Homo-oligomer: A and B are copies of this chain.
Amino acid sequence: MTITPNHKVREYKDIIDQQLSTLFDDVTMNTRIKAAMSYSLTVGGKRVRPVLMMLTADAFGADVEKVRPVALALECVHTYSLIHDDLPAMDNDDYRRGKLTNHKQFDEATAILAGDALLTYSFQLISDATQLSAEEKVYALKRLSEVSGPLGMVGGQMYDLSYEQTDISLDQLEEVHDLKTGQLLIYALEMGAFLSHQPMEVIEAMKKAATAIGLTFQIQDDILDIIGDETALGKKVGSDVLNDKSTYPKLLGLDGAIKEKQKFVDETKKQLDFAGVLQTPLAQFIISLSERTV
């Protein structure tokens, strides 16, 4: 994924990378679980979710240091979901980002426990955050459990498994993506705004923007799987068609999918404008992601 020159994106990504690489340095725990958690946390990744949260706080003029523990917690939840998704009983992937998946690097039992541990630890990170009030912590913890649990991401993964090899409608496709990947993006923008003490209608606009962003990214993925450049993408294209996967191009045709994507890009801009953050590094980053070709 190309990231446009945006020094704040680089700065926040570096902070997250650095923090994740030292997250358990002073924590006494079983060395194997620590190694397995650290392995997946530091195997790489664009850190889109925590960077979005910090950019959102910055866009509203808040101290990004305040949201940092919540941003780290969100990346821990995202990482746990990848570890469990890769398991033999789920997607059965041996590699992710060119490195061995957790259960191949360690073993299956360790990967299950490392995922469990990262999920649990994310709640500890927020509970221990020094710059948040008790009320802010409770709301951040409550929303994290909602967006990542059976009402959110885990629910979406269950739908996704149920729908395999099944023809589904556009509404069902949107629900899967909204739950499976959209909810964590919502959390990123919502918490960035909430912890910056924005009024309810601004927080709602940011949540709507995040929903549109999630669907934009998904359609983009689907489109690139058809017209993307294999060399530039670094992965085979055409796998969705091969696997008869439900995608936007399959349901709407390629032109229809491109139009649908533009609809969500327009919606994103509208909501960011309403929230007063259209002329910010946050908006610049979001637009660059939705226009990526690799």
Residues from chain B with a CB closer than 8 A to the CB of A133 are: 134
B142 touching A124 by the CB < 8 A rule?
Answer: yes
Stretch at the interface among A10-18, A84-92, A216-224: A84-92
Instruction: Give how many A residues have a beta carbon under 8 Å from the other chain's beta carbons.
Output: 50
Q: How does the 8 Å CB contact mask read for A6-41 relative to B, with 1 for contact and 0 for none? A: 000000000000000000000111101110010000
Residues from chain B with a CB closer than 8 A to the CB of A138 are: 127, 134, 137-138, 141
Q: Is A171's beta carbon under 8 Å from chain B?
A: no
Stretch at the interface among A58-66, A115-123, A185-193, A270-278: A115-123
Copies of this polypeptide in the complex: 2
Q: Is the interface of A mostly helix, strand, loop or mixed?
A: helix
Q: Tell me the smallest distance from the CB of A34 to a CB of chain B, in Å.
A: 7
Residues from chain B with a CB closer than 8 A to the CB of A161 are: 109-110, 113
B149 touching A117 by the CB < 8 A rule?
Answer: yes
Q: Is A146's beta carbon under 8 Å from chain B?
A: yes
A149-B120 contact, Cβ under 8 Å, with A30-B155, A33-B154, A142-B127: yes
Point out the residue from B80, B113, B159 that lies within 8 Å of A157, measured CB to CB: B113
A154 touching B87 by the CB < 8 A rule?
Answer: no
Q: Is A128's beta carbon under 8 Å from chain B?
A: yes
Q: Tell me the smallest distance from the CB of A119 to a CB of chain B, in Å.
A: 6
Q: List 18 A-B contacts (CB under 8 A).
A: A27-B150, A29-B151, A29-B155, A30-B155, A33-B155, A34-B150, A80-B116, A110-B158, A117-B149, A120-B145, A121-B149, A121-B150, A123-B141, A127-B142, A134-B135, A134-B137, A137-B138, A138-B141
**Alpha-carbon distance between A292 and B16 when the two chains are bound, in angstroms:** 51
Q: Tell me the smallest distance from the CB of A73 to a CB of chain B, in Å.
A: 10
**Alpha-carbon distance between A152 and B232 when the two chains are bound, in angstroms:** 44
Residues from chain B with a CB closer than 8 A to the CB of A128 are: 142
Q: Is A254's beta carbon under 8 Å from chain B?
A: no
Show the binding face of A for B, using Cβ within 8 Å: 27-30, 32-34, 37, 80, 84, 87, 89-90, 107-110, 112-113, 115-117, 119-121, 123-124, 127-128, 133-135, 137-138, 141-142, 144-146, 148-151, 154-155, 157-159, 161-162
Residues from chain B with a CB closer than 8 A to the CB of A33 are: 150, 154-155, 158
Residues from chain B with a CB closer than 8 A to the CB of A146 are: 124
**Alpha-carbon distance between A150 and B76 when the two chains are bound, in angstroms:** 13
Point out the residue from B89, B115, B141, B148 that lies within 8 Å of A127, measured CB to CB: B141
A89-B108 contact, Cβ under 8 Å, with A141-B127, A144-B123: yes
